[in-house]
Structure 1
Amino acid sequence: MSFAEQLHRLQAFLDADDLHEEALDYMAAHGYLTALAICTEQVPAREWIDALFAEPPHYRSDAERAEIEETLQQLKAHIGRQLASDDDMELPCELDLGEEPDDADLRGWCIGFMEGVFLREGAWFENAEDEVSELLLPIMVGSGLFEDQPEFAEMASNPDLMDEMIEQIPEILTALFLLFNAPEEKPALLKPRHH
């Protein structure tokens, strides 16, 4: 089975209605795996797979379980290769929250990414907290998880600013990846700003 076919089956599995309501769907899982692929602290596969599903799914067979878990690990490795390449990563969804942000694929992706960050929050912020916080901002805004905080509510009420931030997400992922995995190559995005 090709990787594309495996992904197709994974997507159908994650987007089915019978998973636990807190389980991540395919878009969120992609964001989640992207965060895991960026973070330098490796989370054991068992831990992140269990966290992704919230509770063990009802697999039809051990073979199906093995296939889904294997495809998740392959997708994580694939995302890691994309991040390490010279091109900005392509998200599996439009970089747009649209008219109904809560229903947007991008919102799900950003929520999943933040779930991945929360899994090892300490590792994300221990070395370059300010830079990481600044880089994560568009993803945090996109996730809608922080809208009860005044500064996020203010940004969310400015559609042009939101669009501008969200369009930066692919290059932000590259910058975060470099920050964690090649700190000696500071991307241009992080050069000190002259006030």
Structure 2
Amino acid sequence: MSDTDTPQPQPLLDDEALDQLDDFLESERVDADALDLIGAHGFLVALAVAPSDVPAATWVPELFHGEPAFADDSEREATLALLEQLRHNAIQVLEGGGLPELPFDMELGGLAPEETPIGDWCAGFMEGVFLDEAAWFAEDEEAAATMLLPFMLLSGLFADEPDMAELATDGQRLERLVEQLPELVLDLYLHYRVPPETPKPKPRRKGPPGRGKKTRKK
């Protein structure tokens, strides 16, 4: 596939909306353990991909690590609306076969993933998976583990596991995975959200006249 055939990643929120969320998530009115903008972006993209919808009553407290000190109901509604819009826009982009634009430079630059926004985003994504882990692995555990491996590896959350630690030393492999992240998100969406098409019955071929009947030679 040439570069012209590759769809350009699409932003899930405009810069103004991202700045607004960033300011709020970095404020003292939000718990220190809450996800930051990068982590929240990954978290909400995971919810867009998830095999089943997770209600806001479940994911909002997880994202904020409790209830923020909103100034008033208006601020609460506006903030939650932006978060929901990000999730919804991710679904729209992926449903159309597009790629999500991720809010960081797509290279590690020789750093360990967990020392970069890439690791923060993937850790947020995995937090979204953990919300309903059973659903992600219900249908085909092996396929799910394979498809989620890049996110797990780049998140740094599994660094203590021997297999992960060994893979994490391969810098070239990690850089390739970072470049592929938007495509890997789309692959997950197609796997979980787009049911395979039922194959259409093939019409029976008619053979040439006389074929299928054996005639005796005289």
The bucket for the TM-score relative to the shorter chain is 0.7 to 0.9
Q: Could you tell me which of 129, 132, 147 is aligned with 2:159? A: 147
Amino acid paired to 2:24: F
Instruction: Output one character per residue of 1:30-61: Cα deviation in whole Å (capped at 9) or x when no partner.
Output: 10001100113111112111110011111122
Distance 1:70 1:88 in 2: 22
What are the residue-to-residue correspondences of 1:112-131 with 2, within 5 Å? Answer: 112-131=124-143
**Structure 1 residues 100, 161: CA separation in 2 closer, same or farther (over 3 Å shift)?**
closer
TM-score (norm 1): 0.87
Distance 2:52 2:112 in 1: 35
Matched, 1:45 2:38: no
Q: Which residue of 2 aligns with 1:172?
A: 184
Distance 1:87 1:71 in 2: 21
What are the residue-to-residue correspondences of 1:60-139 with 2, within 5 Å? Answer: 60-98=71-109, 99=111, 101-139=113-151
Higher Cα Rg: structure 1 or 2? Answer: 2
Matched, 1:181 2:182: no
Provide structure 2 residue ranges, at least 5 long, that are not aligned to the other structure: 1-12, 198-218
Of 7-16 and 125-134, the range deviating more from structure 2: 7-16
Q: How many corresponding residue pairs? A: 184
Amino acid paired to 2:144: V
Percent of paired sites with the same residue = 39
> Which structure carries more helix by proportion?
1
Distance 1:49 1:149 in 2: 30
Asked whether the equivalents of residues 29 and 70 of structure 2 are also in contact (C-alpha less than 8 Å), the reply is: no
Distance 1:153 1:55 in 2: 32
Aligned-CA RMSD value:
1.8
Distance 1:149 1:172 in 2: 23
Distance 2:185 2:139 in 1: 17
Asked whether the equivalents of residues 97 and 142 of structure 1 are also in contact (C-alpha less than 8 Å), the reply is: no
CA shift for structure 1 position 97: 3.1
Amino acid paired to 1:167: E
Asked whether the equivalents of residues 94 and 186 of structure 2 are also in contact (C-alpha less than 8 Å), the reply is: yes
Asked whether the equivalents of residues 114 and 154 of structure 2 are also in contact (C-alpha less than 8 Å), the reply is: no
Amino acid paired to 2:132: R
Paired residue secondary structure (1:168): helix
Instruction: Output one character per residue of 1:132-170: Cα deviation in whole Å (capped at 9) or x when no partner.
Output: 111111111110000000111011111111112222211
Matched, 1:163 2:175: yes
Amino acid paired to 1:131: A
Amino acid paired to 1:24: L
